[in-house]
Structure 1
Amino acid sequence: MKKLFYFFLLFGVNGNLLVPQLYAQTYKFDFGKGKTGKGYNKVLPETVYNPQTGYGIDLGTTVMSNTSVGKAAPTDGFLTSDQPFYFSVKLPEGNYDVKVWTGDDRGTADIAVRAENRRMFVNRLQTKKGQHKLIEFTVNIRDSLIAGTNKKIRLKPREYAYLHWDDKLTLEFNSTSPKVNAIEITPNKKAVSVFLAGNSTVVDGASEPYSAWGQMFPYFFQPGKVAIVNLAESGETLSSFIGARRFEKLLSLMKPGDYAFVEFGHNDQKQKGQGIGAFTSYKKDLEYFIDAVKKKGGIPVVVTSVQRRRFDSSGRIVETLGDYPAAGRLTAKEKGVALIDLNALSKTMFEAMGEQGSLLAFAHFPAGAFPNRKEAIADNTHFRPFGAYEVAKLILSGVRKSVPGLAQFIKPGEPVFDPARPDAYSSFYWPQSPGKDATKPDGN
């Protein structure tokens, strides 16, 4: 009877595998025609995700298989598409090391890799005919439950459609010729988690064209060493982040030596009432955030509010965030914690871009550029992917200067970024993800 119970647990009443390698440390998938690598699950175009099998091509996307077999499993075959496609695996909450083999024994390949809500891990990788390359990164997946309690984060209605609150890891393969040979996914209990608390300037933006620096940040760190856990959400203030139990979720996941970056101010400055203000309620909440992170053995990092795009007649950025950046600087100093002065760094960068050049960093698009938005988009708070990437580089500059413990995990060879010399827009490669929703994010 006991053996029969475990058979049904693993395979279900129809003999189908419910969750791939349920008790295995590594989940392995071999894509396309050819021999199946030892210990791998074969993935073909008809392998469509469903909760019972626990893995497959997902979100209505379709793929094609290789037509001729290559040299050796698991890279002898691949799946590809002329459109971006998704692959999902049902997994419990946690950090995971992911390996993706790409390439073609008989042709070239060109791939971009993202995870969950468009988190960037590879912006472009090209392989020559007969060449294969291994992509490695570490990703966090999570749900809305708060461990050890019967409570959940108070999600906003739109968040229920987000890819980062479900029970699976979803990978996006993009670019002109994405060819996936094989994937391995291994739990990572030792990686340093870097938690991000913030608003729409930090969030993992779900759909094109809006992006924020938090979803670009994972790209810059060594695989196996760091996992970025972005709990930011559009429209949040520091007080609402705490009130919606997002901070409680953060603390429930934190282990000693992890980091917690906190950037608010844009929406906080609109709060009204007695005792509400940068040096009163906001500073008090920031002190509470810092103290609670320290109590868990974590390392708090205060990030001042990124600038909005508003220029004066002389081409200088107009300060629009009131006393909130100053309150952040003062609190970090008084509490003796690291400060990344994003407010100052972004002022330098946006002025270097100029009033016209900075349009390409923010969400400015002509009428009809996106299906659900007939009118033009002229948003001077929220970023397009290029702007989000550049702001992430500013944060990385702050890490190098003020957070040496984390700076040691930046990818080798990543150049030092000078805010006064931002990248050219033409240098950034970002093929759009399938999801396009030009609804303006909450907050401003």
Structure 2
Amino acid sequence: MKERTLPRAAAALLSAALLATAIAVPTAASASPQGNHHGGPRIHPGLPSACTGTDPVVCTFSDLAPGDYDVSVLLGTDAADSNTEGFAESRRLMLAAVPVAQGDRERRSFTVNVRDPEGQQNQPVGTGTPGLTLTFSGDAPALAGIGITPASPRTKQLFLVGDSTVTDQEVEPYAGWGQRLPSHLDLGVSVVNHSGSGESTVSTLSKPELFDALEPQIGQGDVVLIQLAHNDKTTTAEQYRANLSEMVQRIRARGGTAVLVTPLVRLRFTDGAINRVGLIVTDQADLPAEMRAVATSLQVPLIDLTERSRVLVESLGPVESEPIYLVRVNGDRTHTSDYGASVYADIVAEELQNLHLLPASRWR
């Protein structure tokens, strides 16, 4: 498997070359400084040849090695009002829709993680294209400029360990909340989604490309969110607790902070309430309850996404909740749509922000 993280020394050597190729059109006289206030790469005159198209605009920097990169973009056009979303790599939402009035400019910055494979980490062969791919779409996308540099060694990393409801799904209509989470974070935090479809606590620990590959990337002060339960159908309560405890201990040994995330509910109703299947209660264990117990015994921060999602879905009811999932697309009551992934990413972001594990200035 390829090296997943660009060494900091190598990143520094790339900086000058990237500055020379990260080019943009001149800022208009009416350009607005609104948006990111933490600096970011310089935007030079003239769009680079790596950017093609208009709707969407796709920028492919194929020579960038795996690692973290800071990106600044200038959005807007003199021709008309615009509205632009920014995506990185495997459909990761980096910028929610940014409206810009005709003649104005808006600068936005973010930090993106480049890895191989770029999507689900349990793929037998790396997926995607080499380097960094950025896509700018939306109602009326307008990219006026772009700049890229290797991220600072001080960049915080937010790791995600999860299943198909968390992972970077490559193909629509599927989406995981982990690939919508980056849009909540500003320059200086890299979201590293180390999840894969079908994974459980058992498989995540047993497959070398999953937790074993993630572990050496964790640095002092990094945060690791763990949402695993949907696929632990045959895992006993004792083994489930042991698996979660092992992950927590290994994360702490690296200087990181583990956060346990109980699984989002399935859209399964009985008599107006989410039933046992929907609440991820198996014949072996009440998995959310077991995760809560581990969080208490090990004094681990907890995001109770099971409870938050249950309250939300039950308040909407079985029909009005359907757009969150893929029921109306293919009958799927477990996996989320783009809309549903955003709904749950919003909840996770809110809960994580309340834990104060990342600097307040790094939240959008």
Query: Is the pair's TM-score, using the shorter chain for normalization, greater than 0.5?
Result: yes
Distance 1:154 1:194 in 2: 16
Describe the superposition over 1:320-378 as per-residue Cα deviations: whole angstroms up to 9, x where unpaired: 21211111111111111111111111111111221111111001335xxxxxxxxxx01
Distance 1:354 1:193 in 2: 37
Describe the superposition over 1:251-290 as per-residue Cα deviations: whole angstroms up to 9, x where unpaired: 1211100011111111111x3xxxx41x222211111100
- Gaps (5+ residues) in structure 2? 1-12, 28-41
Describe the superposition over 1:386-425 as per-residue Cα deviations: whole angstroms up to 9, x where unpaired: 1111111221232244x2222625535xxxxxxxxxxxxx
How large is the RMSD of aligned CA atoms in angstroms?
Answer: 2.6
Q: Could you tell me the TM-score, scaled by structure 1's length?
A: 0.68
Counterpart residue number, 2:171: 207
Change over 3 Å in CA distance of 1:25–1:284 after alignment to 2:
farther
Q: Which amino acid aligns with 2:162?
A: G
1:202–1:232 contact (8 Å) kept in structure 2: yes
Counterpart residue number, 2:273: 316
Describe the superposition over 1:65-98 as per-residue Cα deviations: whole angstroms up to 9, x where unpaired: xxxxxxxxxxxxxxx23xx242111212222211
Counterpart residue number, 2:203: 240
Q: Does residue 257 of structure 2 align to residue 296 of structure 1?
A: no
Change over 3 Å in CA distance of 1:25–1:340 after alignment to 2:
farther
1:194–1:228 contact (8 Å) kept in structure 2: yes
Post-superposition offset of 1:26: 4.5
Change over 3 Å in CA distance of 1:254–1:122 after alignment to 2:
same
Residue in structure 1 matching 2:193, options 195, 214, 230: 230
Change over 3 Å in CA distance of 1:186–1:211 after alignment to 2:
same
Q: Which amino acid aligns with 1:174?
A: S
Q: Does residue 154 of structure 2 align to residue 190 of structure 1?
A: yes
Q: Which amino acid aligns with 1:30?
A: I
Q: Does residue 123 of structure 2 align to residue 160 of structure 1?
A: no
Change over 3 Å in CA distance of 1:409–1:247 after alignment to 2:
farther
Q: Does residue 300 of structure 2 align to residue 307 of structure 1?
A: no
Residue in structure 1 matching 2:59, options 79, 87, 109: 87
Describe the superposition over 1:170-220 as per-residue Cα deviations: whole angstroms up to 9, x where unpaired: 101111322212111122221211100000010011121111110111111
Runs of 4+ that moved beyond 4 A:
31-34, 38-44
2:24–2:43 contact (8 Å) kept in structure 1: no
Residue in structure 2 matching 1:24, options 16, 24, 38: 16
Distance 2:227 2:99 in 1: 35
Show the 5 A alignment for 1:9-408. Answer: 22=14, 24=16, 26-27=18-19, 28-30=21-23, 40=44, 43=47, 47=49, 56-57=50-51, 63=53, 80-81=54-55, 84-89=56-61, 90-143=63-116, 155-157=122-124, 160-161=126-127, 163=128, 167-188=130-151, 189-224=153-188, 226-245=189-208, 246-269=210-233, 271=234, 276-277=235-236, 279-313=237-271, 315-320=272-277, 321-322=280-281, 323-366=286-329, 377-401=330-354, 403-406=355-358, 408=360
2:264–2:309 contact (8 Å) kept in structure 1: yes
Post-superposition offset of 1:144: 5.4
Distance 2:121 2:126 in 1: 11
- Gaps (5+ residues) in structure 1? 1-20, 48-55, 64-79, 146-152, 367-376, 413-444
1:154–1:244 contact (8 Å) kept in structure 2: no
Q: Could you tell me the TM-score, scaled by structure 2's length?
A: 0.83
Larger radius of gyration: 1
Could you tell me the percent identity over the aligned residues? Answer: 29
